[in-house]
Amino acid sequence: MARKKIKIKKIDNITARQVTFSKRRRGIFKKAQELSVLCDAEVGIIVFSATEKLYEYASSSMKSIITRHNQHIQGIRGMDRFLEPQGEDNSNLAELHKEVANRTEQLRRMTGEDFEGLEFDDLLELEKTLQSGLKRVIELKEKRIMDEITAVQKKLEEENKLLKQKMAMLCKGKSHFLLDSNITMQEVASSDSMNNVCSCNSGPSLDDDSSVTSLKLGLPFPN
């Protein structure tokens, strides 16, 4: 059988009110203890009855819980005072908030969102802004492409210059080698020619002369 639902309102009967207070207080303290054990939480409950009687429950120490609570509240209040603008700062902050909201709305519209409520003139202005931005983007892109092309051309020119220098050094080495070879061949040829000339100029030996003379005179060869 389901329990009858009690309407939450002040109990007029003093005795019934006191009995309900005692039962509910014990139930709340029990739930607080279970919460502390199950969740490793630090729990503190303070209750004053209608007769100004104090009831409390603390999972550790009520004094340490109250001290911790006060420190936390003071820290929050100090942070609020630090962040809270004063005088002129307040008006500046309001203007900044307004400017941020306007810029955010413009950005949303430039990305194709939140066009509702725009008049025809506003749409024309937005179109001009987008066209101007697109033009700057295209110019920047073309500049980047030209810079990359120039860098590649410069690199190719430097590589070609290096290659030409290497080819020139190679050709120079080959010409020196051919020149040295020609000189050596000429020296060898000259040496052979000189040897031939010397052999011709030396003439026949004495024996050869006597043989020739004997032949001419028809004399017998000398023994």
Residue 153 belongs to a domain = no
Residue 129 belongs to a domain = no
Tell me, what's the pLDDT at 31? 94
Tell me, what's the pLDDT at 114? 63
Residue 202 belongs to a domain = no
pLDDT exceeds 70 at position 20: yes
Residue 25 belongs to a domain = yes
Residue 35 belongs to a domain = yes
The Cα 32–Cα 59 span in angstroms is 8
End-to-end CA distance of the chain: 172
Interval 53-61 mean pLDDT? 90
Q: Count up the domains in the chain and report the number.
A: 1
DSSP assignment string, 121-138: HHHHHHHHHHHHHHHHHH
Q: Name the helix (H) or strand (E) containing 38.
A: helix 14-39
Residue 66 belongs to a domain = yes
DSSP assignment string, 62-78: HHHHHHHHHHHHHHHHH
CATH code at position 42: 3.40.1810.10
pLDDT in tens, 87-96: 556 677 778 8
- Choose between 38 and 88: higher pLDDT: 38
Residue 186 belongs to a domain = no
- Beta carbons of 21 and 11 less than 8 angstroms apart: no
Tell me, what's the pLDDT at 50? 86
pLDDT in tens, 169-182: 888 776 666 666 65
pLDDT in tens, 129-158: 888 878 888 888 999 999 999 999 999 999
Tell me, what's the pLDDT at 90? 65
Tell me, what's the pLDDT at 10? 87
Q: Which of 49-53, 61-65, 97-101 has the lowest mean pLDDT?
A: 97-101
Tell me, what's the pLDDT at 93? 76
pLDDT in tens, 183-203: 555 555 555 555 554 454 444
The Cα 39–Cα 59 span in angstroms is 12
Tell me, what's the pLDDT at 202? 47
Residue 94 belongs to a domain = no
- Residue given tokens 């506003």 in the structure block: 122
- Beta carbons of 90 and 83 less than 8 angstroms apart: no
